[in-house]
Structure formats: C-alpha cells, structure tokens
Amino acid sequence: MEENKMEQEQLKNEIIELLKSTKREGMPALITHLEEKGFFTSPASTKWHGNYPGGLAEHSYSLYKMFLDRCNEFNLINDKSFGVDTIRTENIIIISLLHDACKVGAYLVDRNLIRYNKSMPPGHATISLGRVKEFIQLEPIE
C-alpha cells in the first residue's frame, strides 16, 4: 500500500515536471487546478482502462509515453516534410497528458464501485479542450 502511494507520488511529480517543461503561460495555474480537482486521484473510466483511483494520471502518462515513442519511431518530431505545423515535444506533452481533462470529477468513487457522475455534461473532447483553454493557449496542432 505504501509503495503504491510512493509510485503515485512519483508519477504525479513526473507529470507536473513534464507540464512545466512546456513553459506555457498559465501552466502553473492549470497544474494547481488539476491537483485541486483530483486529476492525480481520479479514475479514467468506470470499467475500462484505469478504472481505479489514480487511473486517470496513469492512463494519461501511458499515452504520453506511447505517443512520444511513435513520434520518435517515425521521426515526426520537428519534421517539416509534411508542409504543415511540425509537432514538437511540448505538443506531445500537452496533447497526451491533458486529452482527458474532462474526466477530472467525472466519476464518483464509493468504496470499490466507480460510477459516472451524471451531472457531468457529454462531449469528451470539447470539454477537455475547454477546460485546458481556460488556463493555457493551445496551438492548432493541439
């Protein structure tokens, strides 16, 4: 149990450092918001991936690692050959770590039962974008 709390704290610190590394104006306020609203303790779903307290942060970090690995594998970071905005590491951090910002507070945990908070409005991507844009300016690629 104590080891799990230590791992969760390490994961939280890693995510916070990654978000800070983007140097986006408003990021400190967004990080505070995520901490206060339960990003690091929220589940990611009711019965699928990350359906346990802390699952949202773990799922988001896993997505970050996978996205970064794929972008490196295909040499997509800072590649201008597509003639569009190039993807940078900070874009990968923001896209992956904040893609489920809408899920903060979306689930109620009662003992071992996780259920959807019916007071949350639908619109997964739109809600996530809206919440993040309250704090930082997003680039078109994000």
Interatomic CA distance for residues 67 and 76, integer angstroms: 11
- Residue 70 has a pLDDT of 94
pLDDT band at 49 (very low <50, low <70, confident <90, very high): low
21: Cβ contacts below 8 Å, ≥ 6 apart: 90, 93
Question: Which among 56, 54, 68 has a CA at the least distance from the CA of 18?
Answer: 68
Tokens, residue 2? 């104590």
**Tokens 């690692």 sit at which residue?**
65
Interatomic CA distance for residues 85 and 32, integer angstroms: 30
pTM score of the predicted model: 0.82
Query: 87 with 41: CB under 8 angstroms?
Result: no
Q: What residue ranges in the chain does DSSP mark as E strands?
A: 107-110, 113-116
Q: Where are the domains of the chain?
A: 2-133
pLDDT in tens, 69-120: 999 998 888 887 766 668 899 999 999 999 888 777 766 566 565 545 555 5
pLDDT in tens, 111-131: 565 545 555 555 567 878 888
